[in-house]
Amino acid sequence: MIPLRQAMETYDLITRNAEEVVTDEEVRELAADPDGKRAYVGYEPSGVLHLGHLLTANKLIDLQEAGMEVVILLADVHAYLNGKGTFEEIRETAEQMKAQFVAYGLDEDNTEFIYGSAFQLDEEYTLDLHELELSTTLNRSQRAMAEIQGGETAKVSHVVYPLMQTLDIEYLDLDLAVGGLDQRKVHMLAREELPELGYDVRPALHTPIVADLTSGEGKMSSSDGVTISMEDSTDDLEEKVNSAFCPPTRDPEGDLENPVLELFEFHVFPRFDEIVVERPDEYGGDLTYDDYESLAADLESGELHPADAKGTLATYLDELIAPGREKLRDIRN
RNA sequence: CCGCCCUUAGCUCAGACUGGUAGAGCAGUCGACUGUAGAUCGACUUGCCCCCCGUUCAAAUCGGGGAGGGCGGACCA
C-alpha cells in the first residue's frame, strides 16, 4: 500500500472529512511542517467505543499518517465533573477505552495516552484555572458547555469543564486541537482566552456529527436512538444498518441527511482503498468503488440500490469493529 | 434562611377543585406495501402517578412530613 502521505497532499490529508478548520491559514502552516507537531482529542472515558469516537479516531490516524504526534487525553477529571461516576469507575472504563483505540488502529508507539488527572491537579494548572474563572463569564462558559453536558441543569462543575479544556491545550503542549463539531464553542473559547494568560492560540479542527441512523436528522446519539459500537455483533450491525434511513439520494429533503452515505464517507472510505459491493447477477453483479464520490453518484442515479449499499456498509463496518470487539471480549473475561 | 411553582408512559403533558385503581400526542414494537429505510395504512405495547405517614370502604386526587428540580427575596416602599 502506498503511504497515504505520498498519495495525498499533507494538507488534504490533515483536513479531509473535516467539517470545519479554524483557521485555514494556521492549519496550512502546520501542514507545511507536520513532523513532531502534536494534536489531541480529549475523550470522557467510556467502556465501549461507538462510531462517534471512531470518527475523531479516524482523524487522528490521518494525522499520524501525516507525521504528527497524537495525544489522546483520557479525560477522567472532565468525566468526573460531568457526573460520569467515581474516579475508580472512570479509570476502569478509561483502560478499556485505550485498549479499543489501539485495537481500532491507532499506532501504539505513536500515540500518547494521558490521564487528565496526571497534570490537571498540579498547582500551576489550578492557579491558571482560577485565573480563567476570573476572566470568563458564567454565560460564556455555559454556552460553551451546552452541547456537551446532558439536559441536566448546569452545575458549577459544568462551567469549569470547558475552562480546563482550554488549559489542556497549553499544558499538553499541543499544536492542534481536534474534536467533533460539538466541541466548537469550547475551542473558540480557548482561542479567545489563551492569549489572556499569555499563551499561544492553537488551531482547531472539527469533525462532522453523523446524523441519527434511523431518522437522518440531528446527530447519532449514544444516549438515545441507535448507536453502532464496538459491542455490536455482526448480526447487530446488519440489523441496525438495514433499519437505517436511506433514501436513494445524497441530499434528502429538508434538513435530513443520508446516514448510510455519511458512514461510507466518514468511516469506510477513509480506512479502505477499495469497496466491493457484492450483488447477485439478477441485480447486475458486483460493483467496485475506490472513492466515496462514485459510490454516492451511483446511489443517486439508481445504479446502486440502497439495499445493496446497506449490506456492503454492514460488512465493512463489521471489519472495522471486529478487532475492538475481540478486545472487549478479552477484557470482560 | 424565607416565599412561590413543578414532579403522572421513553419524551411533552392532561387528569387533582368535585376521592371510585390512569389518559392524549409524539416515540417505540409488529405486520402490509415498496428489492432498503422513510412516508402511508393496520394492529399492539408502555406506568413504584417522586417517597413516607395519615384520613377513608376506597387516595394520582384530601391532610401532614420529606426528597429532587425551577424561580424569586437589595434600595425605591
Residues A242-258 pLDDT 10s:
999 999 999 888 778 89
Nucleotides of B under 7 A from a protein CB: 10, 28-29, 35-38, 69-71
CATH for A4-207, options being 3.40.50.1000, 2.60.40.1180, 3.40.50.620, 3.30.1360.30: 3.40.50.620
> What DSSP character marks residue A194?
G
Return the pLDDT at A215: 78
Phi–psi pair at A66, nearest 5 degrees: -80, 0
Instruction: Please choose, from the candidates A71, A10, A37, A21, the residue with its C-alpha nearest in 3D space to the C-alpha of residue A191.
Output: A21
Q: How many residues does chain A have?
A: 333
Q: For strand B, which residues in window 131-150 of chain A come within 7 Å by CB?
A: none
For residues A305 and A122, give the distance between their C-alpha atoms in angstroms, rounded to a whole number. Answer: 57
Please check whether strand B approaches the CB of A221 to within 7 Å.
Answer: no
Residue at grid coordinates 448510510: A260
Q: What SS3 class is residue A127?
A: helix
Task: Give the CA A153 to C1' B67 distance in Å.
Answer: 17
pLDDT at res. A213: 85
User: Class of the A234-332 domain?
Assistant: mainly alpha
Q: pLDDT tens, A67-112?
A: 999 999 999 999 999 888 889 889 999 999 999 999 999 988 889 9
> What stretch(es) of chain A map to CATH 3.40.50.620?
4-207
Phi (first) and psi of residue A116, to 5 degrees: -55, -40
Domain with CATH 1.10.240.10 in chain A: 234-332
Give the pLDDT score at A222.
52
Residue A288 main-chain phi, psi, to 5 deg: -130, 135
Q: How far apart are CA A208 and CA A112, in angstroms?
A: 24
Q: Is the CB of A222 under 7 A from strand B?
A: no
- One-letter amino acid for residue A48 of the chain: V
Counts of helices then strands in chain A (DSSP H, E): 14, 8
Is the Cβ atom of A281 within 7 Å of strand B at any atom? no
Q: Give the residues of chain A that fall short of pLDDT 70.
A: 1-8, 151, 218-225
